[in-house]
Structures are given as C-alpha cells and as structure tokens.
Amino acid sequence: MKNKSFVSMLEMITVVVVLYVAFGIFFPGFSYKTKWSEALLLQTARDAMLTADRIGKLHEYSFNPTSLQNFLSGVITNESIISWSNTEGAVKSQVVIACNCTNDQMVRLNSWMVGLSINGRQINTEQCYTNLEFINPCIVSSDVLVIWGEKDLSSPVYYSTLQEYLKGDGGIVEIADFSRQLDPVQTGIFGLKDGGAWGSPTADIVIKPATASSTTYQAYKTYINGLKGNSTIPEFCYHSTTKKIIPLDGDNSKILVRVDNDPSASCVIFNSTRITWIADFTNNIYNYNHTKLLTSLLLTASNKKIKATSLSNIRTGYITSYINVKNTDMFEVYKLDLGLGYPY
C-alpha cells in the first residue's frame, strides 16, 4: 500500500513538472530589454558634435585628437564611455609621399611642400623612395605616389604594380615630358595620347571647371584660392619641345592647364581625381606658381581616408557622422566620424 502511494505521488510530481515545462514553452513569460545605454551613446555623440560646432571648435577637434579628448572629457560624465574619431574627404594632416625619383628631386619636392597650411591647419609631409617593380612597404604606407621623369614603363610588371596600388585609396602623380612613343602605362593608367604637332602657342591658360563634379575641380580650387593666397598662370605648356599630349578619350574637361590656341594641347591632364599627369616644368625656368600647382595636384590625388578604428574589443559602440565645412582660405568639406562605446 505504501508503494502504491509512493508511485502515485511520483506520478503527480512528474505530471506537474511536465505541465510546468509545457506551460513555459507554450506561454513564455514576457520580458522587455531597454536600449537606454545605446541611446545614450548616440545622444551624447550628437550633442558633443553640435556643441563643438556651435562654439566654433569642430574643425580644430576634427584634426587634433588631444584637443578633442580634452573637450570630450568635459562633456561626457560617464567615465566608462570611450571615444575615437576619423575624418574623410579632407587632406590629411600628415601626408606620406612615395617617390620614384632621384635624391635631388626628393630634396626639391620636400622643400616645395614645407609650411603647407589649409584653413589654419598645418599639413606635414614625409617621403620615402620606391621602385615600381613590386608593391613594397613604402608604397603600401603612402597616400600618393610620385613618378618623376620620363621612364620606360612598357614592361607589364609596372602596369600591374600601379593597378594594384590603385586598388587602395592612394593616388598617382606623374611628372614627365615624352620624347618617344607612349607606353601602355601612359595610355592605360594616365589616359594620355600623342597629340601630334604643337603648332605655335603663345601663352598658357588655367581652365576653370564648369561644375564642382569635374575631375579638375579640387585641384583648381586648391591652386587658385588655397595654399598661401591666390595664384597666377604657370607658363610652361608652350615652352615644351617634346610631344604634345592630349587626353586619350578626347575629353578636354580633364585638362587643367593648356595652351591658349589649342583646346586639347595641355600640360596637366587628369584621368581621375586620383590620377594626374603634369609636364616636367623643371626642364625650363620655373617659379612658385609651378611648384604650387604640383603641390595642389599631390594633395588632390592623396588618400583622404583614415583607417577606421577596430571595434573588436568594444562591447557596444556606435559611430555618429557629421559633415563640416571650413572656408577660411579655401572651401573645404569633410566628414567627421565620432565613435563612442562601452568596453565592458
């Protein structure tokens, strides 16, 4: 009798457990998880950038990490929040130039780019020498590649190296005159074509782009209005004694500087905003306008993206973007990304 009672009790307990489990499966309990911590990050980032903009400090904070951190430490009361920032669309404060050129050319290039300033922000440059046979540490770390002088680039290895480099965000500026037939790099990478006889040019013209979407617009505005004041026409196209060069596809809107009496005869051609050819003005008498023009081309072609901070060690993080405009001595538009997150 006792055994039967025990069995009955065991059966009842089993039934209760089964019913409890079934009830939990078919009628789960309601739970609500708030997103207040995530909302706080987004709200804090937005308020911080609006405040920085309204006090006129956003441009400074965009390019000075120390000033930004000092500002954020005063407006963010939650000590567990960490921050980081990136900019995109503006010339970097530190531009790395890979140069396939002679030591003398590197010295001259360095001297021309000393003391650069955009909207009160100092632009520093550093150089490294590179060959063009393969992708190497100098090229990989650079923001723009300079190829100076007429070179035989007909070997497929050069074309391959330059194509591989352009898969990144860096640009290429070539400084060269041509006395022989153009090779596949000149046609395929730089978009150049032999234009035949020069004719009798008498002066050079800097072409104002028709629209802001033109490939020459950034370089034009940098040369004309930025970098230590206004500029005049750098006369060097009509001095050339080598081949007349024209755009391969016949698109004259890619020309920034040309001679006065021939719309296609040029000495500065863009194949894109990141790929530019300029005639070697150092083969003739040159002045500040020539070197400033080259500097404008280098800054235009250079990589304007900063590698994003990895979020792998952050539990929760959000990036808030803000478009800023600065026009002290040159119209500059860029995007600031401010990231806030919780490490644990």
Q: How many domains does the chain have?
A: 3
In a domain, 325, yes or no: yes
Whether 328 and 191 map to the same domain: the answer is: no
Is the pLDDT assigned to residue 37 strictly greater than 80?
no
pTM, whole model, 2 decimals?
Answer: 0.82
Residue 49 belongs to some domain of the structure:
yes
Residues 135, 5 share a domain = no
Whether 81 is covered by a domain: the verdict is yes
Query: How many Å apart are CA 88 and CA 335, to the nearest integer?
Result: 5
Average pLDDT over residues 322-341: 86
Q: Is pLDDT at 287 greater than 90 in this prediction?
A: no
Residues 207 and 71 both lie in one domain: no
- pLDDT tens, residue by residue, 309-318: 555 567 777 8
Higher pLDDT among residues 244 and 147, named by residue: 147
| Greater model confidence, 119 or 3 | 119
Q: 203 with 117, same domain?
A: yes
pLDDT score for 32: 56
pLDDT exceeds 80 at position 3: no
Which of 141-150, 205-214, 221-230, 280-289 shows the lowest mean pLDDT across its residues?
Answer: 221-230
User: Is 310 a domain residue?
Assistant: no
151 & 271 share domain: yes
pLDDT (mean) for 219-225: 83
- Which has more confidence, 8 or 216? 216
Q: Are residues 130 and 257 in the same domain?
A: yes
Whose structure tokens read 């040369």? 223
In a domain, 4, yes or no: yes
Alpha-helical runs (H) found in 27-155:
36-54, 58-63, 65-75, 103-112, 137-141
Residue 306 lies in a domain: no
Q: Are residues 85 and 98 in the same domain?
A: no
Give the CATH number for residue 157: 3.40.50.880
Q: Tell me: do 277 and 185 sit in the same domain.
A: yes
Local structure of residue 197 (DSSP, 8 states): -
Q: Are residues 98 and 81 in the same domain?
A: no
Strand-pairing partners, residue 268, are 257, 278
Same domain as 248, residue 196? yes
Domain that holds residue 5: 1-30
- Asked if 340 contacts 83 with a C-beta cutoff of 8 angstroms, the reply is yes
Statement to judge: residues 42 and 12 lie in one domain: no
CA pair distance 90, 182, nearest whole angstrom: 34
Can you give the pLDDT at residue 78? 77
Quick check: is 261 in a domain? yes
**Are residues 223 and 240 both part of a single domain?**
yes
| Sign (positive or negative) of CA dihedral 277, 283, 286, 291 | positive
The CA distance from 294 to 152, in Å, is: 22
Would you say residue 162 has pLDDT above 90?
Answer: yes
User: Is 220 contained in some domain?
Assistant: yes
The DSSP annotation for 220-255 comes to HHHHHHSSSS-------STT--S--EEETT--GGGE
- pLDDT for the residue 24: 60
